[in-house]
Amino acid sequence: MAEPVILGIETSCDETGLAVVVGGQIRSNVVGSQVEIHARFGGVVPEVAARAHVESIKSLAHRALAEAEVHPDDVTAVAATQGPGLAGSLVVGYSFGKAMAWTLGADFVGVDHMEGHLLAPMFQHEGYEPPAVVLLASGGHSQIVHMPAWGTYNLMGGTIDDAAGEAFDKLGRYLGLGFPGGPAIDQLSSEGDRAAVQFPRALPDSPFDFSFSGLKTSVVNWVRKSRDSGEDVPVADVAASVQEAIVDVLVAKTFNAVDETGSRTVAGGGGVLANRRLRDRMAEEAAKRNVQLALPSPDLCTDNGAMIALAGQLALQWGRPSVWTGDIDAGKRLGHDH
Positions that interact with Zn ion (CB under 5 A): 138, 303
Between 139 and 192, CB nearer to ligand KG4: 139
Least Å from the CB of residue 7 to ligand KG4: 20
Q: Name which of Zn ion, ligand KG4, none residue 112 binds, using a CB cut-off of 5 to 8 Å depending on partner kind.
A: none
237 binds ligand KG4 (CB under 6 A): no
Decide: 321 and 14 in contact? Cβ < 8 Å.
no
Residue 70 or 236: which CB sits closer to ligand KG4?
A: 236
Number of residues in the chain: 338
Residue window 154-183: x/- pattern of binding to ligand KG4, with contact defined by CB under 6 A: -----------x--xx----------xxxx
Q: Smallest distance, Å, CB 68 to ligand KG4?
A: 22
Distance in Å, CB of 184 to ligand KG4, minimum? 8
Q: Does 29 bind ligand KG4 (CB under 6 A)?
A: no
Of 16 and 138, nearer to Zn ion (C-beta) is 138
Give the one entry of Zn ion, ligand KG4, none that residue 180 binds, where binding means its C-beta sits below a cut-off of 5 to 8 angstroms depending on kind: ligand KG4
From the centroid of its chain, how far is CA 24?
19
The 3 state secondary structure assigned to the chain is CCCCEEEEEECCCCEEEEEEEECCEEEEEEEEECHHHHHCCCCCCHHHHHHHHHHHHHHHHHHHHHHHCCCHHHCCEEEEEEECCCHHHHHHHHHHHHHHHHHHCCEEEEEEHHHHHHHHHHHCCCCCCCCEEEEEECCCCEEEEEEEECCEEEEEEEECCCCHHHHHHHHHHHCCCCCCHHHHHHHHHCCCCCCCCCCCCCCCCCCCCECCHHHHHHHHHHHHHHHHCCCCCCHHHHHHHHHHHHHHHHHHHHHHHHHHHCCCEEEEECHHHHCHHHHHHHHHHHHHHCCEEECCCHHHHCCCHHHHHHHHHHHHHCCCCCCCCCCCCCCCCCCCCC
Q: How far is the CB of 302 from Zn ion (least distance, A)?
A: 7
* Chosen from ligand KG4, Zn ion, none, partner binding at 255 (C-beta under 5 to 8 Å by type): none
Nearer residue to Zn ion within complex by CB, 75 or 92: 92
Q: Taking CB under 6 A as the criterion, which residues in 296-335 touch ligand KG4?
A: 302-303
Among 88, 97, 140, 305, binds ligand KG4 (CB under 6 A): 140
192 lies in the site for ligand KG4, by CB under 6 A: no
In the complex, least distance from residue 312 CB atom to Zn ion, rounded to whole angstroms: 16
Q: CB of residue 322 vs ligand KG4: minimum separation in angstroms?
A: 25
Q: Which is nearer to Zn ion, 138 or 254 (CB)?
A: 138
CB of 304 to ligand KG4, least distance (A): 8
Rounded CA-CA distance 134/139 in Å is 16
**Which residues of the chain form contacts with ligand KG4 (CB under 6 A)?**
13, 138-140, 165, 168-169, 180-183, 186, 270-272, 274-275, 302-303
